[in-house]
């Protein structure tokens, strides 16, 4: 799940409405053409020169171009190439293996916004059920708001597990300009783009399971059989048996019970849903199992609870393999 907006950002947003000061930064002429009480945001020029920010932009541009190489689309500048929805449409269709019902080319602003609305609605249908905070909208993207575009691309990259590594600790100073009583006022907000969490630091690095799936699928059945044998060695004590990894661990119940067996303790039934009947309840169970793993001294799983619930075999294998490596000698 996407991290909540930081306190610093909230303070910044509150400051916009409380203590706006006369603009003291260099503002482009087009940014001064505001109606009364209209607001515009832009990245402080010094932030754009930050090496980590430049690296983030480059990584994302290279990723988009790599995804769209067969479409013969080359993105050079994010805000200029993605604002009208055309490239975003192609990107989402390629990543999601789907086809959006939108006009291929549209020149009018109304047509561009309608297309962008359709594309973003498709993005939201993908991200919202998994708890992502959506930090963009049609007006921001079409208005070439680079921060909004970056948030969108980062979320897509994380959702689709892009094979890239994002630089950590990237934040920018955003200048908010508003016209009040005929005068321009500005305020600065610190906007965090990436964190040092596992999602940012290591989630995109390829590991043995990526290699297994891509280059040695014939060995996949051997790994699955070994993990099933390991799980049943302990779950059989409760008269439970695993035959299918993805489906039987997807609701988190077996994971919770397995952790209790491996660590030799009883897990109180009020801590998880023994018969979950909704997506959220299943996510709760898997997340709770992850907490038990951390308490047991394991590293935080690279998989998200949502990935396990969504029957993602690779994520489930990663979780079980971590258990196997620590508890393989437990009787």
Question: Do residues 111 and 176 touch, judged by C-beta distance below 8 A?
Answer: no
Q: Which pair of tokens denotes residue 182?
A: 């005929």
β-strand partners of 21: 186
Res 264 pLDDT > 60: yes
Same-domain pairing of 241 and 291: yes
pLDDT per residue as tens digits for the range 143-168: 899 999 999 999 998 888 887 888 87
Q: How confident is the model at residue 281 (pLDDT cuts 50, 70, 90)?
A: very high
Same domain, 127 and 276: no
Shared-domain flag, residues 197 and 53:
yes
Alpha helices in the chain (DSSP H): 7-16, 45-48, 51-67, 78-82, 86-96, 109-127, 138-142, 146-159, 198-201, 208-215, 220-235, 245-249, 253-263, 279-295, 305-309, 313-327
What's the pLDDT score for residue 309?
Answer: 87
State the residue range of the domain holding 83: 44-168+193-202
Q: How many domains does the chain have?
A: 2
* pLDDT confidence bin for 131, thresholds 50/70/90: low
Residue 317: inside a domain: yes
| Strand bridging mode 21-22 / 183-192 | antiparallel
Query: Can you tell me the mean pLDDT for 187-206?
Result: 60
Give the sign of the dihedral formed by CA 253, CA 255, CA 261, CA 267.
negative
Report the CATH number that the domain containing residue 150 is assigned in CATH. 1.10.418.10
């Amino acid at each position: 799940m996407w991290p909540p907006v930081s306190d610093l950002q909230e303070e910044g947003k509150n400051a916009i409405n409380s203590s706006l000061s006369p603009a003291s930064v260099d503002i482009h002429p087009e940014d001064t053409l505001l109606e009364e009480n209209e607001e515009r945001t832009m990245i402080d020029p010094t932030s754009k020169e930050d090496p980590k920010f430049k690296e983030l932009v480059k990584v994302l541009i290279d990723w988009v171009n790599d995804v769209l190489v067969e479409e013969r689309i080359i993105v050079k500048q994010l805000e200029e190439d993605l604002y009208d929805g055309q490239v975003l449409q192609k990107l989402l269709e390629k990543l999601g293996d789907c086809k959006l019902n939108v006009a291929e080319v549209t020149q009018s602003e109304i047509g561009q916004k309608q297309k962008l609305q359709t594309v973003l609605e498709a993005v939201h249908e993908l991200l919202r059920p998994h708890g992502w905070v959506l930090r963009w909208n049609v007006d921001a993207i079409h208005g070439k708001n680079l921060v909004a575009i970056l948030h969108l691309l980062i979320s897509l990259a994380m959702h689709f597990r892009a094979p890239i590594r994002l630089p950590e600790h990237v934040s920018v100073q955003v200048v908010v300009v508003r016209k009040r009583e005929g005068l321009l006022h500005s305020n600065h907000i610190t906007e965090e783009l990436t964190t040092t969490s596992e999602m940012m630091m290591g989630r995109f690095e390829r590991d043995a399971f990526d290699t297994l799936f891509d280059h040695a699928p014939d060995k996949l059945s051997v790994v699955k059989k070994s993990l099933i044998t390991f799980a049943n060695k302990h779950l059989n004590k409760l008269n439970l048996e695993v035959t299918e990894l993805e489906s039987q661990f997807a609701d988190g119940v077996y994971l919770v019970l397995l952790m209790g067996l491996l660590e030799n303790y009883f897990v109180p039934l009020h801590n998880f849903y023994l018969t979950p009947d909704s997506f959220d309840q299943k996510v709760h169970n898997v997340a709770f199992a992850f907490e038990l793993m951390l308490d047991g001294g394991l590293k935080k799983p690279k998989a998200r609870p949502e990935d396990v619930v969504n029957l993602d075999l690779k994520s489930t294998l990663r979780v079980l393999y971590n258990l196997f490596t620590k508890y393989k000698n437990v009787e």
